[in-house]
């Protein structure tokens, strides 16, 4: 009986250790996720960390996501565009624009293009502060 209790305890501890390890390691869900993370990592950007920070309202995370757009193309860029569109909706016009306003013109223009592509709609009436930060680019239309 004592041996059986010890065996159950060992199995329980192994299960808990695997559970704790699984919680610490959050791999990309699919190829596009991993390609985006890898592409931005080459530029020294920790995309997953920046995304989590932005989700929790941290300006540094959002600013890093803005910078990441300069280092993406193809399918990873499309995913990034969708993420910036999501962040604009989550942060709201005033807060999003306040962070974007402090970025370089190149980054402001790239973010505007990303939102145009990611939102794929006329988003400017609902987010006028953000829209006013950078001019619309006809090459950034999803239509």
Tell me how far apart the alpha carbons of residues 73 and 8 are, in angstroms, rounded to a whole number: 51
User: What integer pLDDT is reported at residue 18 of this predicted model?
Assistant: 45
Does residue 65 have a pLDDT over 90? yes
Tell me how far apart the alpha carbons of residues 9 and 128 are, in angstroms, rounded to a whole number: 60
User: 2 in a domain, yes or no?
Assistant: no
User: What integer pLDDT is reported at residue 142 of this predicted model?
Assistant: 76
Q: Which of the two residues, 90 and 6, has the higher pLDDT score?
A: 90
Q: Which of the two residues, 59 and 18, has the higher pLDDT score?
A: 59
Tell me how far apart the alpha carbons of residues 128 and 22 are, in angstroms, rounded to a whole number: 42
Residues of the chain with pLDDT > 70: what percent?
77
- State the alpha helices, DSSP H only, in 42-123: 47-55, 59-68, 74-91, 93-101, 105-119
- Which tokens go with 18? 């695997």
The count of structural domains within the chain is 1
The conformation of residue 57, written as its DSSP 8-state character, comes to T
User: 102 in a domain, yes or no?
Assistant: yes
pTM score of the predicted model: 0.77
Does residue 4 have a pLDDT over 90? no
User: 86 in a domain, yes or no?
Assistant: yes
User: 50 in a domain, yes or no?
Assistant: yes
User: What integer pLDDT is reported at residue 30 of this predicted model?
Assistant: 57
User: 24 in a domain, yes or no?
Assistant: no
Q: Which residue has the tokens 């920046």?
A: 50
User: 78 in a domain, yes or no?
Assistant: yes
User: How sure is the predictor about 43, in pLDDT bands with cuts at 50, 70 and 90?
Assistant: very high
**pLDDT by residue (tens digit) across 94-140?**
999 999 999 999 999 999 999 999 988 899 999 999 999 999 999 98
User: How sure is the predictor about 31, in pLDDT bands with cuts at 50, 70 and 90?
Assistant: low
- Which tokens go with 91? 């942060």
User: 6 in a domain, yes or no?
Assistant: no
- Range of 7-16, 19-28, 115-124 with top mean pLDDT: 115-124
User: What integer pLDDT is reported at residue 25 of this predicted model?
Assistant: 46
Domain ranges, residue 85: 29-140
User: 23 in a domain, yes or no?
Assistant: no
3-class SS of residue 43: coil
């Amino acid at each position: 009986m004592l041996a059986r209790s010890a065996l159950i305890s060992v199995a329980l501890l192994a299960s808990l250790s695997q559970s704790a390890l699984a919680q610490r390691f959050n791999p990309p869900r699919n190829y596009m996720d991993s390609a985006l993370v890898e592409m931005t990592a080459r530029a020294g950007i920790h995309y997953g960390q920046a995304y989590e920070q932005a989700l929790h309202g941290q300006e540094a995370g959002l600013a890093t996501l803005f910078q990441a757009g300069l280092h993406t193309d193809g399918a990873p860029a499309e995913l990034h565009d969708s993420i910036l569109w999501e962040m604009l909706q989550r942060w709201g016009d005033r807060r999003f624009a306040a962070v974007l306003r402090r970025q370089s013109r190149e980054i402001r223009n790239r973010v505007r293009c990303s939102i145009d592509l990611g939102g794929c709609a006329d988003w400017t009436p609902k987010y006028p502060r953000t829209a006013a930060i950078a001019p619309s680019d006809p090459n950034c239309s999803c239509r």
